[in-house]
Amino acid sequence: MPHAQFDPTARQALAVAAVDAKTRKDLSWQQIADVTGGLSVAFVTAAVLGQHALPDHAADAVAELLGLDADAAMLLRTIPTRGSLDGAVPTDPTIYRFYEMLQVYGTTLKALVHEEFGDGIISAINFKLDVKKVADPEGGERAVITLDGKYLPTKPF
């Protein structure tokens, strides 16, 4: 039976412990995702950081790999209270840049989505995320981030 959390404190503490274990064991997020039986690295990372529930087999495998106990595996299975940022402007430079991108391009994305699809939203639940590093023709590297969400139209009632 699925269980949901209403207080994010336990999952936040688990995320801290999991990242500590990941660091101590010198594991990559991909290595952690590899033990889940096919879940994406983005989904598993989000789950370990407290934003998704893992299926039973994946929660057990991740907990075992990280050396976490049965209580941690149970928490990894629970449906979290989502949202990792408080209401303040983010101070971490990487997170802030995403915030800045939405400040600058949020209304553009909204306008283009509505023009293309009509009134509705892009789901963050029926969603795929991918991050790739590619060579920049002008030198250095570029980050290619793909946000792939199902379009959900607004339905009058």
CA atoms within 13 A on the CB side of 147: 8
Which residues touch 145 (CB under 8 Å, ≥6 apart)?
129, 130, 131, 132
CA distances (Å), origin 90, targets 61, 82, 96, 106: 32, 17, 5, 16
Answer yes or no: are the C-beta atoms of 96 and 90 closer than 8 Å.
yes
pLDDT digits (tens, 9 = 90+) for 105-154: 898 899 899 999 999 999 999 999 999 999 999 999 999 999 999 999 99
Answer yes or no: are the C-beta atoms of 16 and 10 closer than 8 Å.
no
Task: Respond yes or no: is residue 97 known to be catalytic.
Answer: yes
Answer yes or no: are the C-beta atoms of 43 and 55 closer than 8 Å.
no
Which residue is catalytic, options 24, 28, 64, 123?
Answer: 123
How many other C-beta atoms can be found within 10 angstroms of the C-beta atom of residue 18? Answer: 25
Answer yes or no: are the C-beta atoms of 75 and 11 closer than 8 Å.
yes
Which residue is catalytic, options 77, 100, 116, 141?
Answer: 100
Rounded to a whole number of angstroms, the CA Rg of the chain reads 18
pLDDT digits (tens, 9 = 90+) for 49-73: 999 999 999 999 999 999 999 999 9
Which residue is catalytic, options 24, 28, 64, 97?
Answer: 97
Confidence at 42, pLDDT banded by 50, 70, 90: very high
Q: Which of 21-25, 83-87, 95-99, 118-122 has the lowest mean pLDDT?
A: 83-87
pTM of the model: 0.82
Beta partners for residue 151, in sequence order: 122
Query: Mean pLDDT over residues 73-82, rounded?
Result: 94
